[in-house]
Structure 1
Amino acid sequence: MLKLFLYKLNFFVNIKIKNKIIVSFFLLIICTICTISAFVINEYRNSLETYTTVYSNQVVDQVIKSVDFYVNEMQSISPIANYNYNIQRYLKTVQPDNQLDVTMDFNNLVNFLTEIESLRRDVVSIFLIANNGSAVSDKYSINIDKNYNFTKQQWYKDAFQHDDKSIIVSPHSQSYVINSDKSVVSLSKAVKSYSKDEIIGVLLVDLNLDALEDICKNAKLGKDGYVFIVDKNGNIVYHPDYSYISKSDDTLISDVLKSAEGNFIRSINSEKQQVTFKRYEPANWTVVSVTPYSEIVQQINNMKTFMFLICFVCLLCAFLLSIFIASMITKPLKKLAHFMKKAEKGNLDISLDFKGNDEIGMLGQRFNTMINEIRILMEQVVKEQEEKRKLEFKMLQAQINPHFLYNTLDSIIWMAEVNNENVVLMVDALAKLFRISLSGGQEMITVEREIEHIRNYLIIQSMRYTNKFEYEINADESILNNTTLKLILQPLVENAIYHGIKAKRQKGLIIINAKKIDNNILYEIIDDGAGMDKTKCEEILKYNPSNNINKSHNGVGLKNVNERIKLYYGENYGLKIASEPGKGTTVQILIPISFNIMNINDI
């Protein structure tokens, strides 16, 4: 896993910056959109579940209000019986202590009951039951079962026990009517005599289920949601599926009857349903709403689909935007890379025209500054190289000075004529002097070769100027293999001879030291010659390449050496002169230690 991560990380590091920006921006947008989408969908799910619960409660409350209004309307029929003369007369005449002809007002009674029935379309039939169990209906067509005992029915007994209110009877079949299989809901109400305040019979009103069906069907619970009503005994009063009416659904009803109201989620055959219920106390009915959870899930899925489309559009826009932003960022970088390739090939006549003060604009400004500085440095290097060539040429000119060469050859001829044994030594010194001076065209030689060169020069000069001066050379062995700019000692020794020792009558002394000081090499040329004042010392060392080089007797002066050292090693290095008239001069040369030893072959 770690190797895979490192591999992918390495792959990401190596792809182009434009692709990095696109991938990074796109991944950031994806993470953001996915997080927001998940949050929105989760909140939507919770809100939808809460809304469904609240809405189901509202639907149940509305159904209960409608049922209550309906029941109150039905109950308004019952008081009529207490004040109707025909009803009162009929119920009294059928009493055991009154044997009047019970049919004398029968037609009037039936007509009155028919009028009551006609007031409402949901009234199936109306029955008036006397205390002796005899009954009369509002319709001539109804055949009442003479063997049916009304007085033993629970609703009849309840009407006597609760004579001040109507008793609602759950759905039942009209078993007291011959050849009738109708399922009805009934209201039973005790009828009192208005003269004696005693119960003289019971009014039974049978109602069809159309009103309850209309009430429950008007309750909107989605596509497959529905409302049903159950009584206190667990019998279903109304259900959209008529096959459930007067039956019991133990799997659901037992949970509904445990409390007066509530809601829960149940599963039937792996399908969830949200159930909300509330009891209607006047009838001891419980109104139950059932909403399939699949409808909630469907709405959530619709929301997911909608969010997916939004996310897709957002991701597409984000992808295009990331390409646009990446192009805006990388376009100037590509231009910068193109210009850098041009600069790499040596074209320095270029300039970026980036606008703005952002990082890319600053990068373009820095690039232009860098190119300009490189151009200046290259011009400076070219100029310095030209100066070096001029100084090198003058140095070689000094070494091949005709006067020095003629005088040396004259000395050799004279020594040969007089058979002077030192002639061989002088010739050898002259040969070595020019061999080191040329050095295969190299500018750097070892300290050891530089010391050897100045020794050969002093050998020649000491033979030419016999008894004029003595010399002493001291060099630390630890620096002999280090490199040094060549031919920097000869001009100083030459200056000491011609401007110091020759101006002195007595025999002079020249001391040459080469030693290590910290990380530098220090050369010292000390003479006890005529010396010079401080002003002249300062004039000699004034560094100005545009001026003519202050030359010594043989054409190469101290200033030449000082300029060469500063060109090669920098302004921190060069010559220092300490002199006092009549006492001598000390010239110091300071250069850095370098171990870039060059192979110098003898020529």
Structure 2
Amino acid sequence: MTRWKKLGLPPKPHSLKSRLIIILFISSLAPLILIGSISYFSMYAILQNKAEGGALSNLHQVRIMLEDTIGQLNHTSQQLAFDGRVGKSLETYLSADIYEKKRLNDEIRSELGLIHFTNPTLGLMFYYFENDNQVLFENFSVNDKHDLKNLPVLIKFDKLTYMGPHLSLNPIDGNQVLSILRKVELPDRDDVYVYIETNFKLAESILKDNDQFGGNLVHLILDNYGKIVYSENSEDFPVGMVYAADDSNKDITGKYRMFEEASNQTWKVMSAVPNSVYNLEVYRWMKQFVFFAILTLIASFFIAWLIWRTVYRPLNLLSTDIRNVKSNNEVFPRRQSQISEFSMIYREFAEMRSRIFELISEVEQKEQSKAFLEVEKLMTQINPHFIHNTLDTIRWLARANGQKDIDRLVSTLNKVLYYNLGKGGPARIKDEIEALKNYVELQGIRYNFHFDVKIHADSEALELAVPRFILQPLVENALYHGLGDNGVIEVSVIEDGFSHVIIEVKDNGDGMTEEDITKLMSENTIEKKKVGMGIGLQYVYRMVKFQFGPAASFHIESTIGAGTTIVLRLPIGGVGL
């Protein structure tokens, strides 16, 4: 609950300017959030798939090239082994005399040169005698400190071992190479191996030329035991570390997005991409989106300010005109606006203003008329008393002279006048019935013909409040429209449930036509003033319509020669005493 509600005060109003800014801010921010969310997830998926696809494609290409290179090393080493032509020449060379060795040396070197020429991707190659630590038939110089046993093993089989990447044993090269060490099965010796490595830049070209992440891609090669034998980032992925996909390397791999692909020889090649580089395009897109979102919001604030400026001046002028109306100032300038809506408001306000002053003038005239009517009311209050007192004097004189008929006539007239000329306002049904009986008696004496009025009223309905003078005009209508000697008027008052009371007046007179009924209810007819108190059905109809509206109904049914029935249905509780 806000502070204004606690104090019982209405909420503090906000300016149009602030509301426009808030509405436009929300209307701009909501689509941005919706579109931004959809775009983010869509673009994130697209860019992630792009980055992941690129990394996997790179990794696949590296694996294929490494497998091709290893396959080529294997094929070449087979030619140099014992079952190959060069291998058989080596066996003969080892058992030949000095002259034959000279010839075989040239022959073997020629064969090695031919093999190297036909396989330009190969580099250093030689035969290695383990027991003597001797190197023969090398095509390039060999580092004196070479140690074949300490080279990183990629995968090892029975007779051959794949190694690398590692530094070339050629001291002139100094680049990363892949190599193979294959045992040569000679009948007399089991310590002879053939060593072959790739050329001086083949391994690096395989790994570096397939980096699409601007040099931030880290390549790893793992042996069949999961141990890293080659790493381009020895700080995070040192050579010799056993890599596992579980949480044991979480501290390291948490900074990288890891991809791997296994060869058919169980060794693996992996690539590690830093998360910041991997999501670089996503971050770049997000920065652009945030930039345009900020521009959109700034434009929204600017549009809100323009709208506020557009509507502020017309509203300020309209507010000035309203204050002038409150001050009862009748001098107003003629307002014009370039905005059609405000132009229409100015025009309608001017018409309303004119109407207000007309109504004020009418109210002033009515107040003057009301004051005049109050004076007339005071005068009319004198006349009834004078009439009552005069009739009382006549009644006592008639009684003193034994004129009983005159006494009864004057007494009945006095009662009718007392009720009709008394205070206005609602009356009880039993009061209306009593006044009706006096009126009927007076009319019987006056017109000297006999008619019967039968009155039936529910005892519960006698105390209900109804407007004054509703029964007398209904019976007066029956007397006036063709009720002859021995006529009968039936008056019934019954409750219709707990919501309405029904008053029905039925006679057996001559009846009326629809034209007569319409004329009778007309305000301009003079027929209603021919009899009685001059109060007709039109008065009753207007009174009911004024006090009850659609909650009440007034209905007349009449047939020529069969009489007339008037039914009045009034809501209970609609009039209070």
TM-score bracket, shorter-length normalisation: 0.5 to 0.7
Structure 1 contact 266–272 (Cα < 8 Å) conserved = no
Matched, 1:567 2:542: yes
Matched, 1:279 2:229: no
Structure 1 contact 492–587 (Cα < 8 Å) conserved = no
Matched, 1:63 2:40: no
Of 224, 230, 240, 2:232 maps to 240
Amino acid at match of 1:520: I
Structure 1 contact 95–131 (Cα < 8 Å) conserved = no
Would the alpha carbon gap of residues 446 and 22 (structure 1) be closer, same or farther in structure 2, given more than 3 Å must change? farther
Matched, 1:216 2:191: no
Structure 1 contact 551–557 (Cα < 8 Å) conserved = no
Q: Distance in 2 between matches of 1:538 and 1:269?
A: 105
Structure 2 contact 131–191 (Cα < 8 Å) conserved = no
Structure 1 contact 520–590 (Cα < 8 Å) conserved = yes
Matched, 1:268 2:268: no
Q: Distance in 2 between matches of 1:149 and 1:588?
A: 134
**Unpaired stretches in structure 1, ≥5 consecutive residues:** 8-12, 257-263, 325-334, 336-341, 343-388, 390-395, 527-531
Amino acid at match of 1:287: V
Q: CA deviation at 1:90?
A: 9.3
Structure 2 contact 165–203 (Cα < 8 Å) conserved = no
Structure 1 contact 279–286 (Cα < 8 Å) conserved = yes
Aligned to 1:550: 527
If the length of structure 2 is used for normalisation, what is the TM-score? 0.53
Structure 1 contact 549–559 (Cα < 8 Å) conserved = no
* 1:547-585: CA deviation from partner (whole Å, max 9, x where unpaired): 643378xx32799623333333469647778998xxxx9
Aligned to 2:366: none
* 1:348-389: CA deviation from partner (whole Å, max 9, x where unpaired): xxxxxxxxxxxxxxxxxxxxxxxxxxxxxxxxxxxxxxxxx9
Task: Report 1:348-427 matches (<5 A).
Answer: 415=398, 418=401, 420=403
Would the alpha carbon gap of residues 551 and 534 (structure 1) be closer, same or farther in structure 2, given more than 3 Å must change? same
Q: Distance in 1 between matches of 2:513 and 2:144?
A: 157
Q: CA deviation at 1:228?
A: 3.1
SS state at 1:249 partner: coil
Aligned to 1:435: 418
SS state at 1:100 partner: helix
* 1:50-106: CA deviation from partner (whole Å, max 9, x where unpaired): 555544442233223333554567678779989xxxx99995885345243866897
Aligned to 1:520: 502
Q: CA deviation at 1:276?
A: 0.5
Structure 1 contact 443–486 (Cα < 8 Å) conserved = no
Aligned to 2:274: 292
Would the alpha carbon gap of residues 219 and 426 (structure 1) be closer, same or farther in structure 2, given more than 3 Å must change? same
Would the alpha carbon gap of residues 523 and 115 (structure 1) be closer, same or farther in structure 2, given more than 3 Å must change? closer
Amino acid at match of 1:249: M
Q: CA deviation at 1:316?
A: 8.6
Amino acid at match of 1:279: S
SS state at 2:211 partner: coil
* 1:164-204: CA deviation from partner (whole Å, max 9, x where unpaired): xx9755467889x99999986545678999xxxx9998764
Matched, 1:483 2:466: yes
Q: Distance in 2 between matches of 1:450 and 1:557?
A: 16
Would the alpha carbon gap of residues 557 and 587 (structure 1) be closer, same or farther in structure 2, given more than 3 Å must change? farther
For the pair shown, the structure with the greater C-alpha radius of gyration is 1
Q: Percent identical across equivalent pairs? A: 14
Q: Distance in 1 between matches of 2:171 and 2:474?
A: 153
SS state at 1:543 partner: helix
Would the alpha carbon gap of residues 408 and 295 (structure 1) be closer, same or farther in structure 2, given more than 3 Å must change? same
Amino acid at match of 1:483: V
Would the alpha carbon gap of residues 586 and 436 (structure 1) be closer, same or farther in structure 2, given more than 3 Å must change? farther
Aligned to 1:370: none
Matched, 1:228 2:228: no
Q: Distance in 2 between matches of 1:598 and 1:246?
A: 103
Q: Distance in 2 between matches of 1:470 and 1:488?
A: 17
Would the alpha carbon gap of residues 432 and 298 (structure 1) be closer, same or farther in structure 2, given more than 3 Å must change? same
SS state at 2:422 partner: helix
Amino acid at match of 1:212: A
Structure 2 contact 505–567 (Cα < 8 Å) conserved = yes
Structure 1 contact 474–514 (Cα < 8 Å) conserved = yes
Q: Distance in 1 between matches of 2:444 and 2:171?
A: 166
Q: Distance in 1 between matches of 2:417 and 2:462?
A: 23
Q: Distance in 1 between matches of 2:238 and 2:563?
A: 134
Task: Report 1:93-172 matches (<5 A).
Answer: 95-100=94-99, 125-127=124-126, 135-136=135-136, 168-170=162-164
Structure 1 contact 229–286 (Cα < 8 Å) conserved = yes
Would the alpha carbon gap of residues 26 and 586 (structure 1) be closer, same or farther in structure 2, given more than 3 Å must change? same
SS state at 2:94 partner: coil
Structure 1 contact 521–590 (Cα < 8 Å) conserved = yes
Q: CA deviation at 1:216?
A: 0.5
**Unpaired stretches in structure 2, ≥5 consecutive residues:** 6-10, 307-317, 319-324, 326-372, 374-379, 496-500, 546-551
SS state at 1:213 partner: helix
Structure 1 contact 549–557 (Cα < 8 Å) conserved = no
Structure 1 contact 60–276 (Cα < 8 Å) conserved = yes
Q: CA deviation at 1:273?
A: 3.7
* 1:458-479: CA deviation from partner (whole Å, max 9, x where unpaired): 77778889x9879888675653
Q: CA deviation at 1:438?
A: 2.1
* 1:246-301: CA deviation from partner (whole Å, max 9, x where unpaired): 94222x1x679xxxxxxx996527435413032264xx754332233454455555
Q: CA deviation at 1:212?
A: 0.6
Amino acid at match of 1:271: K
Task: Report 1:493-532 matches (<5 A).
Answer: 514-518=491-495, 519-523=501-505
If the length of structure 1 is used for normalisation, what is the TM-score? 0.51
Q: Distance in 1 between matches of 2:271 and 2:526?
A: 114
Q: CA deviation at 1:220?
A: 1.5
SS state at 2:260 partner: strand
Structure 1 contact 541–559 (Cα < 8 Å) conserved = no
Q: Distance in 1 between matches of 2:167 and 2:481?
A: 152
Q: Distance in 1 between matches of 2:143 and 2:427?
A: 145
Structure 2 contact 231–239 (Cα < 8 Å) conserved = no
Q: CA deviation at 1:484?
A: 4.6
